[in-house]
Protein backbone atom coordinates (compact mmCIF):
# COMPACT_ATOMS: atom_id res chain seq x y z
CA UNK A 1 0.00 0.00 0.00
CA UNK A 2 1.30 3.45 -0.89
CA UNK A 3 0.70 6.19 1.70
CA UNK A 4 1.39 9.92 1.40
CA UNK A 5 1.80 11.87 4.64
CA UNK A 6 1.46 15.65 4.55
CA UNK A 7 3.47 17.01 7.46
CA UNK A 8 6.91 15.64 8.31
CA UNK A 9 6.98 16.76 11.93
CA UNK A 10 7.23 14.41 14.87
CA UNK A 11 3.71 13.06 14.27
CA UNK A 12 4.19 12.49 10.55
CA UNK A 13 7.56 10.81 11.01
CA UNK A 14 6.20 8.52 13.73
CA UNK A 15 3.34 7.43 11.47
CA UNK A 16 5.80 6.86 8.63
CA UNK A 17 8.07 4.63 10.71
CA UNK A 18 5.14 2.51 11.84
CA UNK A 19 3.81 2.10 8.30
CA UNK A 20 7.24 1.23 6.92
CA UNK A 21 7.66 -1.43 9.62
CA UNK A 22 4.38 -2.91 8.40
CA UNK A 23 5.66 -3.13 4.83
CA UNK A 24 4.00 -0.10 3.23
CA UNK A 25 5.48 2.50 0.89
CA UNK A 26 5.55 5.97 2.44
CA UNK A 27 6.04 9.46 1.02
CA UNK A 28 6.56 12.35 3.44
CA UNK A 29 5.70 15.86 2.21
CA UNK A 30 6.63 19.12 3.93
CA UNK A 31 7.25 22.67 2.74
CA UNK A 32 9.75 23.50 5.50
CA UNK A 33 13.37 22.60 4.65
CA UNK A 34 14.04 22.14 8.38
CA UNK A 35 11.45 19.34 8.45
CA UNK A 36 13.20 17.30 5.76
CA UNK A 37 15.16 14.97 8.00
CA UNK A 38 15.89 12.09 5.68
CA UNK A 39 18.16 10.33 8.16
CA UNK A 40 15.29 10.11 10.66
CA UNK A 41 13.19 7.96 8.30
CA UNK A 42 15.67 6.81 5.65
CA UNK A 43 13.39 4.24 4.03
CA UNK A 44 10.70 6.79 3.22
CA UNK A 45 10.47 8.95 0.12
CA UNK A 46 10.71 12.69 0.81
CA UNK A 47 9.29 15.68 -1.03
CA UNK A 48 10.01 19.32 -0.19
CA UNK A 49 6.76 20.95 -1.33
CA UNK A 50 3.55 22.68 -0.29
CA UNK A 51 0.92 19.94 0.03
CA UNK A 52 -1.83 22.52 -0.54
CA UNK A 53 -0.70 23.13 -4.13
CA UNK A 54 -1.93 20.99 -7.01
CA UNK A 55 1.49 21.06 -8.69
CA UNK A 56 3.08 19.62 -5.55
CA UNK A 57 0.50 16.86 -5.32
CA UNK A 58 1.07 16.07 -8.99
CA UNK A 59 4.78 15.67 -8.20
CA UNK A 60 3.79 13.40 -5.32
CA UNK A 61 1.75 11.23 -7.73
CA UNK A 62 -1.16 11.32 -5.33
CA UNK A 63 -3.31 9.47 -7.83
CA UNK A 64 -1.20 6.37 -7.09
CA UNK A 65 -1.72 6.57 -3.34
CA UNK A 66 -4.13 4.32 -1.50
CA UNK A 67 -4.14 6.49 1.62
CA UNK A 68 -3.36 10.13 2.38
CA UNK A 69 -2.66 11.24 5.93
CA UNK A 70 -2.98 14.97 6.64
CA UNK A 71 -0.79 15.20 9.73
CA UNK A 72 0.35 18.81 9.94
CA UNK A 73 -0.09 20.98 13.01
CA UNK A 74 -2.42 23.34 11.11
CA UNK A 75 -6.10 22.38 10.78
CA UNK A 76 -6.61 24.60 7.74
CA UNK A 77 -3.79 22.83 5.90
CA UNK A 78 -5.09 19.40 6.89
CA UNK A 79 -8.57 20.20 5.59
CA UNK A 80 -7.28 21.55 2.28
CA UNK A 81 -5.01 18.54 1.77
CA UNK A 82 -7.90 16.20 2.56
CA UNK A 83 -10.24 17.92 0.14
CA UNK A 84 -7.70 17.93 -2.70
CA UNK A 85 -6.76 14.30 -2.10
CA UNK A 86 -10.37 13.17 -2.30
CA UNK A 87 -11.81 15.43 -4.99
CA UNK A 88 -8.85 15.94 -7.34
CA UNK A 89 -7.08 12.60 -7.03
CA UNK A 90 -9.78 10.20 -5.84
CA UNK A 91 -7.66 8.82 -2.99
CA UNK A 92 -9.69 5.94 -1.48
CA UNK A 93 -8.88 6.69 2.17
CA UNK A 94 -8.10 10.06 3.74
CA UNK A 95 -7.12 10.32 7.40
CA UNK A 96 -6.77 13.77 8.96
CA UNK A 97 -5.32 15.03 12.22
CA UNK A 98 -7.48 17.37 14.30
CA UNK A 99 -5.32 19.81 16.26
CA UNK A 100 -7.98 21.95 17.92
CA UNK A 101 -11.16 20.31 19.28
CA UNK A 102 -13.25 23.32 18.21
CA UNK A 103 -12.53 22.47 14.57
CA UNK A 104 -13.52 18.83 14.80
CA UNK A 105 -17.00 19.42 13.32
CA UNK A 106 -15.36 20.41 10.01
CA UNK A 107 -13.65 17.05 9.56
CA UNK A 108 -16.26 15.18 7.56
CA UNK A 109 -16.99 13.95 4.05
CA UNK A 110 -17.61 17.53 2.87
CA UNK A 111 -13.90 18.13 3.30
CA UNK A 112 -12.92 14.70 1.97
CA UNK A 113 -12.11 13.24 5.40
CA UNK A 114 -12.84 9.55 5.94
CA UNK A 115 -11.35 9.30 9.43
CA UNK A 116 -10.62 12.23 11.74
CA UNK A 117 -8.14 11.64 14.56
CA UNK A 118 -8.44 14.17 17.35
CA UNK A 119 -5.48 13.91 19.71
CA UNK A 120 -7.24 15.65 22.62
CA UNK A 121 -10.36 13.51 22.20
CA UNK A 122 -8.33 10.32 21.83
CA UNK A 123 -6.28 11.08 24.93
CA UNK A 124 -9.38 11.83 26.98
CA UNK A 125 -11.02 8.63 25.68
CA UNK A 126 -7.97 6.60 26.64
CA UNK A 127 -8.05 8.10 30.13
CA UNK A 128 -11.73 7.19 30.41
CA UNK A 129 -11.01 3.71 29.09
CA UNK A 130 -8.29 3.25 31.70
CA UNK A 131 -10.56 4.06 34.62
CA UNK A 132 -14.01 3.03 33.38
CA UNK A 133 -15.48 -0.42 33.93
CA UNK A 134 -18.99 -1.01 32.69
CA UNK A 135 -19.18 2.30 30.80
CA UNK A 136 -19.11 2.66 27.04
CA UNK A 137 -16.19 4.82 25.88
CA UNK A 138 -16.20 6.29 22.37
CA UNK A 139 -12.68 6.11 20.93
CA UNK A 140 -13.18 7.32 17.37
CA UNK A 141 -15.91 8.45 14.97
CA UNK A 142 -15.64 7.59 11.28
CA UNK A 143 -16.01 10.61 9.05
CA UNK A 144 -18.19 9.18 6.27
CA UNK A 145 -20.87 7.80 8.56
CA UNK A 146 -22.39 8.03 12.01
CA UNK A 147 -20.44 4.94 13.06
CA UNK A 148 -17.98 4.95 15.96
CA UNK A 149 -15.39 2.68 17.50
CA UNK A 150 -16.34 2.19 21.14
CA UNK A 151 -14.89 0.20 24.04
CA UNK A 152 -16.50 -1.50 27.01
CA UNK A 153 -14.68 -3.23 29.87
CA UNK A 154 -16.80 -6.09 31.21
CA UNK A 155 -17.68 -5.63 34.89
CA UNK A 156 -17.64 -8.72 37.12
CA UNK A 157 -21.40 -8.54 37.68
CA UNK A 158 -22.40 -8.01 34.04
CA UNK A 159 -25.33 -10.23 33.05
CA UNK A 160 -23.52 -11.24 29.86
CA UNK A 161 -20.57 -12.77 31.73
CA UNK A 162 -20.15 -16.37 30.62
CA UNK A 163 -22.48 -16.06 27.62
CA UNK A 164 -21.23 -17.02 24.18
CA UNK A 165 -20.79 -14.21 21.66
CA UNK A 166 -23.09 -15.88 19.15
CA UNK A 167 -25.93 -16.31 21.64
CA UNK A 168 -26.21 -12.63 22.51
CA UNK A 169 -28.87 -10.49 20.85
CA UNK A 170 -26.67 -7.54 19.92
CA UNK A 171 -28.28 -4.31 18.62
CA UNK A 172 -28.76 -4.35 14.86
CA UNK A 173 -26.18 -1.64 14.20
CA UNK A 174 -23.46 -2.89 16.55
CA UNK A 175 -20.65 -5.31 15.64
CA UNK A 176 -18.20 -6.80 18.14
CA UNK A 177 -14.87 -6.63 16.26
CA UNK A 178 -12.24 -7.50 18.90
CA UNK A 179 -11.76 -8.72 22.45
CA UNK A 180 -8.67 -7.76 24.45
CA UNK A 181 -8.10 -10.40 27.13
CA UNK A 182 -5.01 -10.67 29.34
CA UNK A 183 -2.92 -8.78 26.80
CA UNK A 184 -4.08 -10.86 23.82
CA UNK A 185 -6.23 -9.60 20.95
CA UNK A 186 -8.95 -12.10 20.05
CA UNK A 187 -11.11 -12.12 16.95
CA UNK A 188 -14.59 -12.93 18.35
CA UNK A 189 -16.02 -16.31 17.40
CA UNK A 190 -19.67 -17.32 18.01
CA UNK A 191 -18.66 -19.95 20.58
CA UNK A 192 -16.39 -17.62 22.61
CA UNK A 193 -17.70 -16.90 26.13
CA UNK A 194 -17.34 -13.38 27.52
CA UNK A 195 -15.32 -13.00 30.72
CA UNK A 196 -15.17 -10.37 33.44
CA UNK A 197 -12.41 -7.90 32.65
CA UNK A 198 -12.62 -8.39 28.87
CA UNK A 199 -12.14 -5.20 26.87
CA UNK A 200 -14.71 -5.35 24.08
CA UNK A 201 -14.40 -3.20 20.97
CA UNK A 202 -17.47 -2.46 18.85
CA UNK A 203 -18.16 -0.59 15.65
CA UNK A 204 -21.62 0.83 16.19
CA UNK A 205 -23.93 3.64 15.16
CA UNK A 206 -24.27 6.36 17.76
CA UNK A 207 -28.03 5.96 18.12
CA UNK A 208 -27.70 2.43 19.57
CA UNK A 209 -24.86 3.14 22.00
CA UNK A 210 -27.29 3.49 24.91
CA UNK A 211 -28.95 0.19 23.98
CA UNK A 212 -25.56 -1.51 23.83
CA UNK A 213 -24.57 -0.12 27.22
CA UNK A 214 -27.81 -1.39 28.78
CA UNK A 215 -26.92 -4.96 27.78
CA UNK A 216 -23.98 -4.84 30.19
CA UNK A 217 -25.79 -3.15 33.07
CA UNK A 218 -26.35 -5.26 36.16
CA UNK A 219 -29.97 -5.78 37.17
Residue 47 has pLDDT above 70, yes or no: yes
Residue span of the structural domain in which 32 resides: 2-117
Any domain includes 210: yes
Whether 94 and 145 map to the same domain: the answer is no
Whether 84 and 138 map to the same domain: the answer is no
Any domain includes 79: yes
Whether 109 and 164 map to the same domain: the answer is no
Any domain includes 127: no
CA distance linking residue 41 with residue 124, whole number of Å: 30
CA distance linking residue 62 with residue 79, whole number of Å: 16
pLDDT grade for 134, boundaries at 50, 70 and 90: low
Say which CATH number the domain at 189 has.
Answer: 3.30.70.1450
Any domain includes 122: no
Is the model more confident about 31 or about 156?
31
For residue range 93-128, list pLDDT tens digits in order. Answer: 999 999 888 898 899 899 999 988 876 555 455 445
pLDDT grade for 136, boundaries at 50, 70 and 90: confident
pTM comes to: 0.62
CA distance linking residue 98 with residue 96, whole number of Å: 6
% pLDDT > 70, the chain: 90
Average pLDDT of 149-158? 84
Whether 106 and 144 map to the same domain: the answer is no
For residue range 176-201, list pLDDT tens digits in order. Answer: 999 988 878 889 999 999 998 888 99
Amino acid sequence: MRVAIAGAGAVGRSIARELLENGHEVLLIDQMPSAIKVDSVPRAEWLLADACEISSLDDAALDRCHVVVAATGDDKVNLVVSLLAKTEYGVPRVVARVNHPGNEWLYNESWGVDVAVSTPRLLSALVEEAVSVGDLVRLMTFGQSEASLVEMTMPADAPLTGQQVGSIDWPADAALVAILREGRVLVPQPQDPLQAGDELFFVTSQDVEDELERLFAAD
